[in-house]
A = this chain, B = another copy of it.
Amino acid sequence: MRILIRGAAVIPRPDRGVIPHADVVIEGRRYAAVVEGGGAGGEFDRVIDGEGHLLFPGLVNAHTHLAMTLFRGLADDLPLMRWLTEKIWPAERNLTGEDVYWFSLLGLIEMIRSGTTAFADMYFFMEEVAQAVDEAGLRALLSYGIIAPTPDRIEPELARAEAFVREWDGKAEGRIRAALSPHAPYTCGPEVWRNATALARELKVPIHTHLAETKEEVDRMRAETGRSPAEWLEGLGVFGVPVIAAHCVHMTEKDIEILAAHRASAVHCPTSNLKLACGIAPVAEMLRGGVNVALGTDGAGSAGDLNMVEETRLAAILAKQKAEDPEALPAAEALACATWRGAAALGLGKELGTIEPGRRADGVMVTLNKPHLCPGHNPLADLVYSAQGADVDMVFVDGRLLLVEGELVTLDEAAVMARCRELARRFR
């Protein structure tokens, strides 16, 4: 299959800015050529008109809990611990695999429609999540969330997480990769962390966890161990494998050094962090310290949606306030966090994240023919500071079209929404 996308404005990677007019050729699952000025020759199975559009690398949502779309709007305006203990955890006890399957499909539709092509997900009933991802055609790093409050839960939880990795890692033509996810330093003891790290090394998969999301958990860890959560994990040898650390809100200079030294990735989730009043992650400082910072929405239960276009804008403007410097995290750097830095966090830094020959053909087009993107002095700045998720009208992963002229290819949106509304009733 050879596809030509003709005449779009193209962001091959954010630090190279915008090519005003280019032809982009896809062969099979990979980009084959980017021809500045246009004029790509040859035979094509499909030619897509890119005029008036902006083509850029697919957005990577590096931290979410997909099926929590079920809890969107169920319980807002509450502190994290009350939200979890009074609302979410009781509701999750009634969750079934069927719920997770359908609300994962709903989340996948939302992600496709707002330009996400790859994501990292941690939840329960992961077989059902994987099934949904396979059908949708997205790329994902999936993991079962290990919570072991008592010693007797350690072995069964790890076994369950391991079984998922062994069954699904590399499946869906390689689009699905698996990880191990001890939930957080405050919900898993040293034994879980040591065993999970050994297992991650053996299975050659990364660890995806929550780190330093609230001041309370950091203070408690310090009181109990004399260490920050990052120091504590380092002491357990966890950073000997690749780590994806979601949130990283409350970080010391030393914590930043630890993440940078071990090439761990931090995932900034600004909407969720503000909404739960957890704090503002030091994004500019982490990037300056050499940490790979990716972006994520967190679950729609806390964040409201899975819209990475919005998350990128919020990251860009919030980093300026946090650093007290309007030059912090300029548009191109924010878009880097949302694209190739996200790919790097997922362990796919050499495979995707940019539009360059040889890279996996994951990409997104937005129409520029919108009043809020006019007059178009700088389409990259407009994408970050002015675009809406709804401006996305084409999405492809591995060269396969998932959204064309605003129409979903792989999923039946009306059927998924109808089923989800039905299933949601018993949670009210």
Contacts and interface: CB of A to CB of B under 8 A. Distances in A.
A317 B375 contact: no
Contacts of A421: 374-376
Interface in A302-335: 303-307, 310, 313-314, 316-318, 320-321, 323-328, 330-331
A307 B371 CA distance: 11
A385 interface: yes
Contacts of A72: 374-375, 377, 382, 385-386
Q: State the oligomeric state as a number of copies.
A: 2
A371 B324 contact: no
Contact of A74 (B71, B274, B377): B377
A275 interface: yes
A372 interface: yes
Interface in A378-422: 378-379, 381-382, 385-386, 388-391, 413, 416-417, 420-421
How many A residues touch the partner, as a band?
35 or more
B313 A304 contact: yes
Interface of A: 69-74, 76-80, 83, 106, 109-110, 113-114, 271, 273-280, 300, 303-307, 310, 313-314, 316-318, 320-321, 323-328, 330-331, 369, 371-372, 374-379, 381-382, 385-386, 388-391, 413, 416-417, 420-421, 423-424, 427-428
Given A77-B331, A274-B317, 16 more contacts: A73-B377, A73-B381, A73-B386, A76-B378, A113-B371, A275-B326, A304-B381, A314-B314, A369-B417, A374-B420, A375-B421, A376-B424, A377-B424, A377-B428, A388-B388, A388-B389
